[in-house]
Amino acid sequence: MKIRIGIFGYGNLGRGVELAVRQNADMETVAVFTRRDPSTLKTVTDLPVYAADAVADFRDKIDVMILCGGSATDLPVQTPALAEMFNVVDSFDTHAKIPQHYDAVNAAAEKGKTTALISVGWDPGMFSLNRLYAASILPAGQDYTFWGKGVSQGHSDAVRRIEGVKNAKQYTIPVPAALESVRGGETPALTTREKHTRECFVVAEDGADTARIEREIVTMPNYFADYDTTVHFISEEEFLRDHSGIPHGGFVVRVGKTGAAEENTHVVEYSLKLDSNPEFTASVLVAYARAAARLANEKQYGCKTVFDIPPAYLSPVSGEELRRTCL
Amino acid sequence: MKIRIGIFGYGNLGRGVELAVRQNADMETVAVFTRRDPSTLKTVTDLPVYAADAVADFRDKIDVMILCGGSATDLPVQTPALAEMFNVVDSFDTHAKIPQHYDAVNAAAEKGKTTALISVGWDPGMFSLNRLYAASILPAGQDYTFWGKGVSQGHSDAVRRIEGVKNAKQYTIPVPAALESVRGGETPALTTREKHTRECFVVAEDGADTARIEREIVTMPNYFADYDTTVHFISEEEFLRDHSGIPHGGFVVRVGKTGAAEENTHVVEYSLKLDSNPEFTASVLVAYARAAARLANEKQYGCKTVFDIPPAYLSPVSGEELRRTCL
């Protein structure tokens, strides 16, 4: 019997989950839940769509609910609420608030006797895993995480809120010299400015003061002031042609030392180059949904993260076959 | 209380384990076991050395035995024998024979109520993990594993067995064009010859026929015949100066597709650049020894591989702190 998936929230991420489930023969999506009027929502593959309020009726019809809302306001409420009723997987990515999210979700999952996996994706997620593995193997060492080249949704939104900006996209870009230094086995102390640059492509409203817009961007506290930022004003046509995608990626590098006098250097690098950030994140969520279903079958309830999940649980392939073909 | 480690076999790998344990404050090495005369063996940090035959006396004094013998003849015998008495970790790396090794070790570990982790290292080991994670996340895709640039012990040995060869080292080198193609998101079908080249540095005996030696190398079945191989004859002095190290490394790349028409490409890459192959392998063994100790405490007995181990078990850091600092 297939693992029955529910999708809670249908934006880019929910759409990505819909498509990713299709690539896994042991799963099927049985329902999409939305806070919009369900009759107005048509999914890529014409899935049944229900009102979010109706979700409790599906307790026996869904094995794992994949939450596809945002980390700012949706998931802190939705994940604990749904974890009382369903095995859940979310992509909560506000790093500083993970401990309190964990506590809230864990209480709900223990109450509901469900398995809840939080902060699944690539950062947090695959990047975190690689930080953990490399640090555990090479305790004498230093970690570096670089993001990009890719679109930062939060920074793009911040630019779009500036008066006179019609549309905007912000790319985060690792500084090549910093990345090369680390890859070469050096362990430099890098400032924020030395690790990443930011590049903005802006469509200005007709007659807008582009000098003021540029100044407002590059001096914006938290978002841009600590970075070297380049601003390009482009036409709407060019924007739609060249900047419609949501690519992202990045690098996790650990430089570690071993030997009697720590004379040997090892460089461990994990990198992602993603055409579609939400589709890749969705693919990670779907693989972990398989793990959630297995853990729930074993009555391993409560809140867990990628750190707690045996890698084999992500795969539809048996342990025996994995040892034979993949080890 | 510290995790008490035993080292069974003291070559490059055993020495690496001795040094790696020192980098982990929650562990200590309590004994080294050797088939040589123990009185002739002095370890880097002057560890107590015992005869291999005496190992049974240490059942209550060692939490995890790390096996540092070879895969060809040592581990198939030693790991099952020791798994009846100790929690063990080995680096068995004959991929084709992993299933039968697993069965033998599992029977012993179940009989002895011990936890046995086999095929721990980087390939099998970290590379296997990365193949598994990436394939589980991106089921529509293709895997590529490249090795090098690094020293292949087996190929170096094969060259040294040729008449007239005094010393030799063989480097396996990924073909740059193949690696770049895959990194660029292409999924070429690559022959053995298209993936790796082999480079040999040979010190010939005085008066040896170097043309014959070169011909014997490049035509050697299984080892060299399917590759483009370059042979350099060098002086013993140059050999000792430039080719004493045991560097290695490699790349695991998965190119995967997502989207309604699989129109989006994702490239996941894991790479290692290691100054010392045995010291890095030893560091992986030591991190997994921590996991073995924890699993044994939980009475999770039997044979396991890296696929079965929750990543958090490798770390000395608590789950709570990992979620706060590493996720």
pLDDT value of position A57: 97
Tell me B95's DSSP state.
G
Coil, strand, or helix at residue A174? strand
Peptide bond into B38 cis (omega under 30): no
Residues 97-126 of B with CB under 8 A from A: 98-99, 102, 119, 124, 126
Tell me A288's DSSP state.
H
Which residues, other chains included, contact B73 with Cβ-Cβ below 8 Å and sequence gap of 6+?
A: none
**What average pLDDT does this structure show over A205-216?**
97
Q: List chain A residues with CB under 8 Å of B23.
A: 139-140, 258
pLDDT value of position B268: 98
pLDDT value of position B116: 98
Residues 272-311 of A with CB under 8 A from B: 272-276, 279-280, 282-284, 287, 290, 305-311
Q: Which of A248, A16, A12 is CA-nearest to residue A152?
A: A248
The rounded distance, in Å, linking the Cα atoms of A14 and A20 is: 10
Beta bridge partners of B159: none
The rounded distance, in Å, linking the Cα atoms of B122 and A134 is: 12
One-letter amino acid at A74 equals: D
Record: contact B275-A260, CB cut-off 8 A: no
Record: contact A308-B319, CB cut-off 8 A: yes
pLDDT value of position A188: 96
Record: contact A19-B258, CB cut-off 8 A: yes
B259 in A contact zone (CB under 8 Å): yes
Residues 218-247 of A with CB under 8 A from B: none
pLDDT value of position B249: 97
Interface test with B, best of A24, A257, A323, A324 (most B CBs within 10 A): A323
Residue of chain A minimizing CA distance to B281: A137
Contact A144, A267 (CB under 8 A): no
Record: contact A256-B283, CB cut-off 8 A: yes
The rounded distance, in Å, linking the Cα atoms of B43 and B64 is: 19
Residue of chain A minimizing CA distance to B120: A327
Q: List chain B residues with CB under 8 Å of A312.
A: 132, 307-308
Record: contact B133-A308, CB cut-off 8 A: no
Beta bridge partners of B256: B141, B266
- Pick from B23, B258, B284: CB nearest A140: B23
- Pick from A44, A131, A284: CB nearest B137: A284
DSSP H or E segment with residue A304 = strand A302-304
Record: contact B314-A271, CB cut-off 8 A: no
DSSP H or E segment with residue B202 = strand B196-204
Nearest-10 Cα torsion for B38, B41, B43, B44? 170
- Pick from A119, A136, A311: CB nearest B133: A311
A17 in B contact zone (CB under 8 Å): no
Q: Label residue B257 by pLDDT band (50, 70, 90).
A: very high
CA-to-CA dists, residue B155 to A323, B175, B193, B209, angstroms:
25, 18, 16, 20
- Pick from B264, B307, B314: CB nearest A279: B264
One-letter amino acid at A143 equals: D
**What average pLDDT does this structure show over A84-106?**
97
What average pLDDT does the structure give for chain B? 97
**What average pLDDT does this structure show over B58-74?**
96
**What average pLDDT does this structure show over A70-99?**
96
The predicted-structure confidence for A155-167, as pLDDT tens digits, reads as follows 999 999 999 999 9
Question: Percent of chain B scored above 70 by pLDDT?
Answer: 100
The rounded distance, in Å, linking the Cα atoms of A95 and A152 is: 16
Q: Which of A10, A298, A11, A277 is CA-nearest to residue A126?
A: A277
Which residues, other chains included, contact A248 with Cβ-Cβ below 8 Å and sequence gap of 6+?
A: A147, A148, A149, A150, A151, A272, A274, A277, A280
Interface test with A, best of B15, B93, B137 (most A CBs within 10 A): B137
- Pick from B266, B271, B323: CB nearest A280: B266
The alpha-carbon gap from A126 to the nearest alpha carbon of chain B, in Å, equals 9
pLDDT value of position A277: 97
A312 in B contact zone (CB under 8 Å): yes
Which residues, other chains included, contact B53 with Cβ-Cβ below 8 Å and sequence gap of 6+?
A: none
Contact A176, A141 (CB under 8 A): no
Record: contact A326-B135, CB cut-off 8 A: yes
DSSP secondary structure of B265-278: EEEEEEEEEESBHH
Q: Which of A178, A117, A143 is CA-nearest to residue A300?
A: A117
Which residues, other chains included, contact A144 with Cβ-Cβ below 8 Å and sequence gap of 6+?
A: A178, A182, A190, A195, A251, A252, A253, A254, A255
The rounded distance, in Å, linking the Cα atoms of B5 and A258 is: 18
Record: contact A44-B260, CB cut-off 8 A: yes
Q: Label residue B138 by pLDDT band (50, 70, 90).
A: very high
DSSP secondary structure of B122-190: BTTBHHHHHHHHHHHH-SSEEEEEEE-SEE-HHHHHHHHTSTTEEEEEEEEEE-HHHHHHHHTT-----
Contact B281, B68 (CB under 8 A): no
Coil, strand, or helix at residue A190? coil
**What average pLDDT does this structure show over B171-184?**
97
Residue of chain A minimizing CA distance to B269: A271
Which residues, other chains included, contact A237 with Cβ-Cβ below 8 Å and sequence gap of 6+?
A: none
Which residues, other chains included, contact A164 with Cβ-Cβ below 8 Å and sequence gap of 6+?
A: A204, A205, A208, A209, A210, A212, A213
A269 in B contact zone (CB under 8 Å): yes
What average pLDDT does the structure give for chain A? 97
- Beta strand B302-304 with B115-117 is parallel
Contact A143, A134 (CB under 8 A): yes
**Residue carrying structure tokens 């591989």:** B305
A94 in B contact zone (CB under 8 Å): no
B94 in A contact zone (CB under 8 Å): no
B318 in A contact zone (CB under 8 Å): no
Which residues, other chains included, contact A35 with Cβ-Cβ below 8 Å and sequence gap of 6+?
A: A9, A51, A52
pLDDT value of position A36: 96
The predicted-structure confidence for A110-139, as pLDDT tens digits, reads as follows 999 999 999 999 999 999 999 999 999 999
Residues 170-189 of B with CB under 8 A from A: 183, 185
pLDDT value of position A278: 97
Burial label for A9, CB within 10 Å (0-12, 13-18, 19+), is: buried
Instruction: Tell me the angle at which helices B277-297 and A126-137 cross, rounded to the nearest 10 degrees.
Output: 100
The predicted-structure confidence for A278-312, as pLDDT tens digits, reads as follows 999 999 999 999 999 999 999 999 999 999 999 99
